[in-house]
A and B are shown apart, each in its own frame.
Chain A
Amino acid sequence: MVFLEGGFSSPRNDAFPAGLRVLVVDDDPTWLKILEKMLKKCTYEVTTCGLARDALSLLRERKDGYDIVISDVNMPDMDGFKLLEHVGLEMDLPVIKSTSDKLYLCKNITVMSVDGETSRVMKGVQHGACDYLLKPIRMKELRNIWQHVFRKKIHEVRDIESLEGIENIQLTRSGCDLFDDGYFLGGDDATSGRKRKDADNKHEDRDLTDPSTKKARVVWTVDLHQKFVRAVNQIGFDKVGPKKILDLMNVPWLTRENVASHLQKYRLYLSRLQKESDIKNSFIGMKHTDPPSKDSTASFGLHKPMNTMPDDVLNGTYSFSMSNSLAQSIDLKGQADRNGITSVPMTEPKGALSKDISDSHKTQSSQMSFDHSLGSVDSGVSFASFGSTNPSPYSWTDIPEIQFKQEYEPFQPENGFNQLQLPEPFMIEKEVNRSRTEVKPLLDEYRSNLVEHLSPADLVDLFPVQSKNQTLKNQVFNPISATKSSMKTKDISQNSLAYSEFAQRNLNAAGIGVPLASSSEDLQICWLQGDGYPMNFALQDFECLDYNNPALIAETPFYLFGAPRFDHEHLLDPTEHFAIDQGLFV
């Protein structure tokens, strides 16, 4: 596969998964041994580590020595998130988190959180793990992890503009080669229409103007990053754009794409920091230090950025939009005192980071302080929009707006964010191809929660709420929908069904976190993934819940995770695990 060549040291596509270099980090020796064996059986190349710091040094020593990292969340010497951040920022590797705690998983993947666990909820997602695995881990789940790597490569290599067509073809072709059902690449999905927004989005993706050009991975050293930050501050967060930053940085070998993707991460990172730091702060209303002229941006910079970077917002590339939205909101680097800023990514429901916004109660103000540890959130969540596979009963366009409004209103008064501005409707409209009408009623209940989760739109979409009210009740919807639409077509093809499976699985599991009204179907999991990697949540038997979120799956804009193949039949069968087996290349 041509596009796999770029910096991809793994074997060719037919043997693609083989030889994938995996680093496993787990303090439990039993699990370490088991995972090692399982991964070896998948013909991957495995390195094990019992300590997070050892893992980090291994990764640093061999910068390009690993393709993916699987790490337990509960490490004694280092917080699982920190590791994730380091890995993401420094190495740009996909990281999968594993845990034996279902509750943890639910909390970390669901956006909705009823009682103040939002900060925890957001945490996992914020840090951009590209996938979560619940122990006991099954072979099939591990077999699919390569998809995360694959996806990432695609993003790096792809040039949206010129490759869009090519990609479709390539993906379809390779998809067929690699997968029986080709769902991963979504042959049919890919061709059926990447509605990806278009040229504008391009800069979001890392891409090559020349498809056959190998793209070396850029290592963002501290110096480089400082230059980047200085440039961003100079330009002004709300006006920032990859091109401008690039110009200011004056680093000849750096490309706009490099900057764009880094900007994405940076934004996500900031929003996450903001949130964390603000937990105790009340919303201060976004009066920031910013000059009044920037009032709208002040709050979240949503506005302006949105305007200035329409591409980002509208772009179909999920990944980008995620970061954009976040970036916008976070961009407040220069406005450090913005505390009560809930992450803003309203406009870009990339969802992944919207989590940052999560808790209105918890002042999740994104921290503007810049911290090197940008998570590896790539916000390039590719939502596999199911649209192509499953007809969505909802019209996407409506919801996002509604959502926003709802979120927005309550939010303001509660948080005192005077300046919080909803992303302009147009953005939502454009992005959201489908909105869930169902979401609406749920949204009502969510107000406070919604506000926080900016990319609620996205999230909302994720949950095909059938029973709606109940389920949504506690869920925060991130208007990811916007991003969804654009992402959809494209992502679907690229995303595996894993997501749906994951969603299912987690939904069920998430019953804990979310007061699913009645059935697990209602479980909505807003899984915002920064990386936009398809989540290979192999369905594990969640004893607690049965997978019966057909609606959920069907409607969930999986753009976050690549396009799961939504097989309605599967979805509708409660007893059946999502065609995970089928969807995933097991």
Chain B
Amino acid sequence: MDVVNQLQRQFLDYSASLHREGFLDDQFTQLQKLQDENSPDFVVEVASLFFEDCEKLINNMARALEQQGVDFKQVDASVHQLKGSSSSIGAMRVKNVCIAFRSFCEAQNREGCLRCLQQVTHEYSLLKNKLQTLFRLEQQILAAGGSVPAIE
């Protein structure tokens, strides 16, 4: 099954690159390991939850930062939550931006915060796209009758 093999290889390579580039860390691998026949779509489900949560939080931050009198505590709370969320799925780059974001919140630096918000939004979109590509590859493998290779 050349097609399957090819797809599988593509999948592994793509996966490796995501890790290499810091989009995903080991936590994501852990999630993949958790997936089993009882919950065959576990990773996709978790990712969806994450994206939803992410969007909600980013909106919260944006709103808070738009205010005349920015409530940095509120922004920080959202960033903190996002950080926790991103760590759940292994979204390393997003998480890292959150870390920087928090210092700006603490310093009550609106400019810095806005920059971070922009960055976090950017990282989130990137990750979303990449994960969707990854999931698509998985689907293709399955559709071709193969199985998704496990990542060590």
Seen from chain A, the residues whose Cβ lies within 8 Å of a Cβ on chain B are 27-31, 33-34, 37-38, 40-41, 74, 100-101, 135-136, 138-139
- A300 to chain B minimum Cβ distance, whole angstroms, is 37
Residue among A29, A74, A136 having the largest count of chain B Cβ atoms under 10 Å: A136
Residue of A101, A136, A139 near B80 (CB, 8 A) is A101
* Distance, CA A31 to CA B27, complexed state (A): 12
- A135 to chain B minimum Cβ distance, whole angstroms, is 6
Going nearest first, the 6 A-B pairs with the smallest beta carbon separation are A100-B84, A30-B88, A30-B49, A136-B27, A31-B88, A30-B50
Any A CB within 8 A of the CB of B39: yes
Q: In the bound complex, do residue B80 and residue A33 qualify as a contact, i.e. CB atoms below 8 Å apart? A: no
* Distance, CA A101 to CA B102, complexed state (A): 12
Seen from chain B, the residues whose Cβ lies within 8 Å of a Cβ on chain A are 27, 30-31, 34, 36, 38-39, 42, 45-46, 49-50, 52-53, 80-81, 83-85, 87-90
A41-B34, A136-B27, A138-B30 known; A33+B46 contact, CB < 8 A: yes
A30-B49, A30-B50, A37-B39 known; A135+B30 contact, CB < 8 A: no
Q: In the bound complex, do residue B88 and residue A28 qualify as a contact, i.e. CB atoms below 8 Å apart? A: yes
* Distance, CA A29 to CA B54, complexed state (A): 11
* Distance, CA A29 to CA B50, complexed state (A): 8
Q: A29-B49, A37-B42 are in contact. List 19 more A-B contacts (CB 8 A).
A: A27-B81, A28-B53, A30-B49, A30-B50, A30-B85, A30-B89, A31-B84, A31-B85, A33-B49, A34-B88, A41-B36, A74-B81, A100-B80, A101-B80, A101-B84, A135-B87, A136-B30, A138-B30, A139-B30
- A162 to chain B minimum Cβ distance, whole angstroms, is 45
A28-B53, A29-B49 known; A34+B84 contact, CB < 8 A: no
Q: In the bound complex, do residue A37 and residue B34 qualify as a contact, i.e. CB atoms below 8 Å apart? A: yes
- A36 to chain B minimum Cβ distance, whole angstroms, is 10
Q: In the bound complex, do residue B83 and residue A34 qualify as a contact, i.e. CB atoms below 8 Å apart? A: no
Q: List 24 A-B contacts (CB under 8 A).
A: A28-B81, A28-B85, A29-B52, A30-B46, A30-B49, A30-B53, A30-B85, A31-B84, A31-B85, A34-B31, A38-B34, A40-B38, A41-B34, A41-B36, A74-B80, A74-B84, A100-B83, A101-B80, A101-B84, A135-B84, A136-B27, A136-B30, A136-B87, A139-B30
* Distance, CA A37 to CA B41, complexed state (A): 12
* Distance, CA A27 to CA B57, complexed state (A): 13
Question: Which A residues are in CB contact (< 8 Å) with B89?
Answer: 30
Question: Which A residues are in CB contact (< 8 Å) with B31?
Answer: 34
* Distance, CA A112 to CA B67, complexed state (A): 39
Question: Which B residues are in CB contact (< 8 Å) with A41?
Answer: 34, 36
* Distance, CA A27 to CA B49, complexed state (A): 12
Question: Which A residues are in CB contact (< 8 Å) with B90?
Answer: 136
Residue among A28, A40, A138 having the largest count of chain B Cβ atoms under 10 Å: A28
* Distance, CA A138 to CA B31, complexed state (A): 10
- B33 to chain A minimum Cβ distance, whole angstroms, is 8
* Distance, CA A352 to CA B38, complexed state (A): 41
Q: In the bound complex, do residue B84 and residue A33 qualify as a contact, i.e. CB atoms below 8 Å apart? A: no
- A143 to chain B minimum Cβ distance, whole angstroms, is 13
Q: In the bound complex, do residue B34 and residue A28 qualify as a contact, i.e. CB atoms below 8 Å apart? A: no
A34-B46, A135-B88, A139-B30 known; A29+B80 contact, CB < 8 A: no
Question: Which B residues are in CB contact (< 8 Å) with A33?
Answer: 45-46, 49
Closest to A137 in B: B88
* Distance, CA A28 to CA B88, complexed state (A): 9
Question: Which A residues are in CB contact (< 8 Å) with B81?
Answer: 27-28, 74
* Distance, CA A100 to CA B31, complexed state (A): 17
Closest to B48 in A: A30
- A286 to chain B minimum Cβ distance, whole angstroms, is 37
Question: Which A residues are in CB contact (< 8 Å) with B49?
Answer: 29-30, 33
Residue among B49, B84, B90 having the largest count of chain A Cβ atoms under 10 Å: B84
Question: Which A residues are in CB contact (< 8 Å) with B52?
Answer: 29
Question: Which B residues are in CB contact (< 8 Å) with A34?
Answer: 31, 34, 46, 88
* Distance, CA A342 to CA B49, complexed state (A): 46
Closest to B90 in A: A136
* Distance, CA A34 to CA B34, complexed state (A): 9
Closest to A134 in B: B87
- A280 to chain B minimum Cβ distance, whole angstroms, is 22
* Distance, CA A419 to CA B80, complexed state (A): 44
* Distance, CA A40 to CA B49, complexed state (A): 19
* Distance, CA A227 to CA B88, complexed state (A): 46
- B128 to chain A minimum Cβ distance, whole angstroms, is 14
Question: Which B residues are in CB contact (< 8 Å) with A27?
Answer: 81
* Distance, CA A29 to CA B85, complexed state (A): 9
- A406 to chain B minimum Cβ distance, whole angstroms, is 35
Question: Which B residues are in CB contact (< 8 Å) with A40?
Answer: 38
- A585 to chain B minimum Cβ distance, whole angstroms, is 19
Closest to A29 in B: B49
Q: In the bound complex, do residue A136 and residue B88 qualify as a contact, i.e. CB atoms below 8 Å apart? A: yes
Question: Which B residues are in CB contact (< 8 Å) with A74?
Answer: 80-81, 84
A38-B34, A136-B27 known; A28+B42 contact, CB < 8 A: no
* Distance, CA A28 to CA B81, complexed state (A): 8
* Distance, CA A215 to CA B1, complexed state (A): 63
* Distance, CA A33 to CA B42, complexed state (A): 9
Residue among A28, A30, A41, A100 having the largest count of chain B Cβ atoms under 10 Å: A30
- A132 to chain B minimum Cβ distance, whole angstroms, is 15
Closest to B84 in A: A100
- B146 to chain A minimum Cβ distance, whole angstroms, is 24
- B30 to chain A minimum Cβ distance, whole angstroms, is 7
- B111 to chain A minimum Cβ distance, whole angstroms, is 25
